């Protein structure tokens, strides 16, 4: 069953301006070390950050909270499988909220997809609940 859906659209040029203005202060407040390492290795650094920004916004919407109720930016983290597929991990208040909304006897799976077409970056997040122990 679907527990939540979220989407967000981020302007890459706006993220670049924020990076130019606030630098590490912005990076360290919003992005995990893994996210920063990924973005800094990419030719399109701002685009990579923008996609992850959009994913965090989309995840907070799928959790039904937006960025309130104590959910912090770093409570939601995007990484990639060896295939390149993005995955979302949640900790802290985001994990608490996910656990709260997941029915008993189910496990939550967060699906995330990212795309960009300059100057836009977009993310969709779907949170699914599957009966515990059911194969993927």
What would the pLDDT profile of 26-61 be if each residue is shown by its tens digit? 999 999 999 999 999 999 999 999 999 999 999 999
Residue-wise pLDDT for 50-100, tens only, equals 999 999 999 999 999 876 666 789 999 999 999 999 999 999 999 999 999
Binding site for Mg(2+): which residues?
8, 57
Fold classified for 2-131: Ribosomal Protein L22; Chain A (3.90.470)
3-state secondary structure of 32: coil
d(CA 76, CA 92): 9
- Range list of β-strands (E), 32-105: 76-80, 86-90
Binding site: which residues?
8, 57
Picking from 54, 25, 60, 43, the residue whose alpha carbon sits closest to that of residue 114 is 54
């Amino acid at each position: 069953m679907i527990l939540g859906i979220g989407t967000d659209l981020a302007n890459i040029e706006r993220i670049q301006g924020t990076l130019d203005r606030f630098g590490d202060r912005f990076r360290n407040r919003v992005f995990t070390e893994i996210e920063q390492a990924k973005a800094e290795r990419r030719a399109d650094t701002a685009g990579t950050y923008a996609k992850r920004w959009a994913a965090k916004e989309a995840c907070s919407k799928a959790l039904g909270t937006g960025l309130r109720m104590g959910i912090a930016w770093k409570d939601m983290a995007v990484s990639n499988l060896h295939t390149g597929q993005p995955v979302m991990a949640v900790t802290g208040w985001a994990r608490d909220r996910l656990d709260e909304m997941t029915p008993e006897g189910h496990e939550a799976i967060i699906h995330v997809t990212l795309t960009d077409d300059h100057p836009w970056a977009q993310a969709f997040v779907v949170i699914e609940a599957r009966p515990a122990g059911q194969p993927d």
